């Protein structure tokens, strides 16, 4: 039995694809897609439970059976790994070789169904990424849906019979893995690398494998190993066994291999574009975008007005903002405004679920009217002096900052405090009742959680609104109970 090549057909041909396997990042629309997928990745990091994520065993599986090609690449390149729970055996649903490497690194994204994140750079890494490393994507077709993400112990970990995917940055190998230990058909490659690089070999249960030199195996074991390697896709090595195949056929094989292991994201995006041609859905998408855009505008106004008040040297609002929020929450407020604005640019149809008719336009219109008044308030605050004012009333002389006098309604008809309380009420209504399909669930949940129990829950005017809603719900329930008894 001749020695077998270390690379399978797929891994031999994958280099023909270049650094990208899809056209979805090309052109102006491609740039928008790339920007949106970076946002999804950032949002995952914002929401993930780090204690849970760091408990996961991360394995990069070798399609070829040979660890040298992968482990010879830059550890700054982001790579894909299959994740396993602490007590879960490390058995691959991705490749038949069942050999891989256990990684230690920083997880930047995770989803229950793998594919579509791009290939690692390797030797083809462009110059601009060689110092910082290649970055993998969070594919919008999956990452835009919260139920497909792995965020914490309550997340669905993988689809039955499929593989999940964790993107790992700044990684290092801690052990080579061989299911079945020395009985794995590709043990020889792991043995050689382990001896040369002083890296231990473990089995699927995490137990260390006692190394044995494959050259000392019996002839029968060597023959059975050779057949095992062929069955798992390895190609015999030798001049008489060169492949007779055209470049066109190679490209076709690559496409078939990718289609069998990755979701066809381009086809899904084309389907989205087709759905957008429907006039009714266009209207609903536009309404959803308007709703999110107005909420983002509100959050930005809160940030801008709070900064303006501080710049005018308010004596009342030093540790808290005019909205009643801690001044330390300003960065979080700005980030939430930016994230909401980005989601508004990329509202996608929600898989097969029906789109809500809703009353989004009603809530966004009410919020827009109030926001126009707040724009006026921001303009007036910016025009105020930051010098203290001396004056007198019937109560005697006083010294006050112009901004504090304005916000208290002194000698003006703007009623700023009342307008800001109204804005908090309208924002709550827009978030609670105006957000529905096709707005992605992940941003809906984020906004609602911040209003109910997050930093936005402390806004002046918000608690009163929630209490009024609870009272209305109680009255409604009591009325329905009495009515049912009468019937």
262 and 185 within one domain: yes
Confidence at residue 376, expressed as pLDDT on a 0 to 100 scale: 92
283 and 251 within one domain: no
Confidence at residue 353, expressed as pLDDT on a 0 to 100 scale: 42
pLDDT of residue 119 exceeding 80, the answer is no
Better-predicted residue by pLDDT, 267 or 210: 210
Cα separation, 284 vs 274, in Å, equals: 15
Contact 25, 34 (CB under 8 A): yes
353 and 303 within one domain: yes
Task: Please enumerate in sequence order all residues whose Cβ is within 8 A of that of 7, keeping only pairs 6 or more positions apart, or say none.
Answer: 64, 66, 69, 234, 235
Residues of the domain holding 285: 278-486
Confidence at residue 408, expressed as pLDDT on a 0 to 100 scale: 84
pLDDT of residue 157 exceeding 80, the answer is yes
Indicate the average pLDDT of the chain.
75
Q: What is the DSSP letter of 100?
A: E
pLDDT of residue 120 exceeding 60, the answer is no
Confidence at residue 26, expressed as pLDDT on a 0 to 100 scale: 67
Confidence at residue 8, expressed as pLDDT on a 0 to 100 scale: 39
295 and 225 within one domain: no
Least confident of 17-21, 145-149, 451-455: 17-21
* List of E strands, 231-301: 234-236
Cα separation, 393 vs 416, in Å, equals: 22
pLDDT of residue 236 exceeding 50, the answer is no
For every residue of 366-377, DSSP letters joined together read HHHHHHHHHHHH
Cα separation, 111 vs 442, in Å, equals: 14
Cα separation, 304 vs 292, in Å, equals: 18
Better-predicted residue by pLDDT, 119 or 440: 440
φ and ψ of 72, to 5 deg: -90, 0
Task: Please enumerate in sequence order all residues whose Cβ is within 8 A of that of 89, keeping only pairs 6 or more positions apart, or say none.
Answer: 204, 205
Confidence band for 100, pLDDT divided at 50, 70 and 90: very high
Question: Which pairing describes strands 234-236 and 4-8: parallel, antiparallel, or unpaired?
Answer: antiparallel
348 and 246 within one domain: no
340 and 191 within one domain: no
Per-residue pLDDT, averaged over 116-139, amounts to 59
244 and 379 within one domain: no
Confidence at residue 260, expressed as pLDDT on a 0 to 100 scale: 42
φ and ψ of 208, to 5 deg: -70, 135
* Both tokens assigned to 237: 């090595």
Long-range contacts of 333-339 (CB under 8 A, 24+ apart): 333/299, 333/302, 333/303, 333/306, 333/455, 334/300, 334/303, 336/299, 336/446, 336/447, 336/450, 337/296, 337/299, 337/300, 337/302, 337/303, 338/296, 339/39, 339/42, 339/43, 339/443, 339/446
Calculate the CA 156 to chain-centre distance.
Answer: 15
Confidence band for 70, pLDDT divided at 50, 70 and 90: confident
Cα separation, 181 vs 119, in Å, equals: 28
Least confident of 95-99, 117-121, 344-348, 389-393: 117-121
- Pick the last residue of a domain from 227, 243, 269: 269
Nearest alpha-carbon partner for 163 in 203, 98, 223, 111: 111
194 and 149 within one domain: yes
- Pick the last residue of a domain from 269, 298, 316: 269
Per-residue pLDDT, averaged over 285-308, amounts to 88
261 and 290 within one domain: no
**The total number of structural domains that make up the chain:** 2
149 and 114 within one domain: yes
- Per DSSP, the three-state class of 326 is strand
Contact 91, 180 (CB under 8 A): no
Contact 118, 137 (CB under 8 A): yes
Confidence band for 463, pLDDT divided at 50, 70 and 90: low
386 and 294 within one domain: yes
pLDDT of residue 18 exceeding 80, the answer is no
The CA-atom distances, in angstroms, between 134 and each of 78, 126, 263 are 6, 9, 22
- Tokens 């203290």 sit at which residue? 388
pLDDT of residue 82 exceeding 90, the answer is yes
The CA-atom distances, in angstroms, between 61 and each of 17, 204, 207, 262 are 20, 12, 18, 16
306 and 358 within one domain: yes
pLDDT of residue 270 exceeding 70, the answer is no
């Amino acid at each position: 039995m001749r020695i077998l090549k270390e690379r399978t057909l797929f891994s031999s041909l994958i280099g023909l694809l270049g650094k990208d396997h899809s056209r979805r990042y090309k052109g102006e629309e491609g740039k928008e897609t790339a920007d949106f997928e970076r946002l999804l990745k950032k949002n995952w990091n914002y929401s993930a439970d780090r204690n849970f994520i760091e408990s996961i065993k991360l394995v990069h599986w070798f399609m070829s059976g040979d660890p040298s090609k992968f482990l010879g690449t830059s550890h700054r390149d982001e790579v894909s790994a299959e994740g396993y729970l602490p007590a879960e055996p490390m058995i691959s649903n991705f490749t038949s070789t069942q050999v891989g490497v256990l990684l230690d690194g920083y997880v930047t994204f995770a989803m229950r169904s793998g594919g579509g994140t791009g290939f690692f750079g390797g030797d083809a890494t462009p110059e601009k990424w060689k110092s910082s490393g290649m970055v993998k994507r969070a594919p919008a077709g999956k990452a835009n849906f919260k139920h497909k993400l792995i965020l914490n112990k309550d997340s669905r970990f993988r689809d039955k019979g499929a593989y999940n995917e964790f993107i790992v940055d700044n990684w290092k190998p801690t052990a080579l893995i061989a299911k079945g230990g020395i009985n794995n058909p590709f043990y020889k490659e792991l043995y050689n690398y382990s001896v040369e690089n002083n890296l231990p070999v473990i089995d699927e249960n995490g137990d260390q494998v006692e190394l044995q030199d494959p050259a000392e195996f019996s002839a029968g074991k060597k023959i059975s190993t050779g057949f095992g390697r062929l069955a798992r896709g390895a190609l015999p090595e030798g001049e008489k066994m060169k492949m007779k195949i055209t470049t066109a056929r190679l490209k076709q094989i690559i496409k078939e291999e990718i289609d069998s292991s990755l979701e066809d994201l381009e086809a899904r995006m084309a389907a989205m574009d087709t759905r957008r041609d429907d006039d009714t859905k266009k209207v609903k998408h536009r309404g959803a975008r308007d709703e999110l855009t107005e909420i983002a505008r509100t959050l930005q106004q809160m940030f801008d007005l709070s900064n303006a008040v501080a710049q005018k040297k308010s004596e009342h609002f030093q540790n808290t903002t005019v909205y009643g929020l801690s001044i330390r929450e300003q960065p979080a407020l700005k980030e939430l405004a930016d994230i909401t604005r980005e989601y508004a640019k990329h509202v996608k149809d929600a898989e097969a679920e029906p789109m809500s008719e809703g009353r989004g336009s009603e809530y966004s219109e009410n919020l827009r009217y109030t926001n126009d008044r707040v724009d006026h308030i921001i303009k007036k605050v910016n025009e105020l002096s930051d010098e203290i004012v001396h004056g007198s009333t019937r109560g005697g002389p006083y010294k006050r900052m112009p901004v504090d006098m304005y916000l208290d309604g002194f000698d003006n008809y703007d009623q700023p405090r009342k307008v800001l309380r109204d804005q908090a009420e309208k924002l709550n209504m827009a978030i609670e009742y105006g957000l529905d399909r096709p707005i992605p669930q992940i941003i809906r949940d984020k906004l609602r959680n911040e209003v109910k129990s997050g930093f936005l829950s402390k806004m002046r005017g918000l608690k009163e609104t929630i209490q009024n809603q609870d009272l209305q719900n109680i009255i409604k329930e009591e009325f329905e109970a009495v009515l049912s008894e009468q019937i």
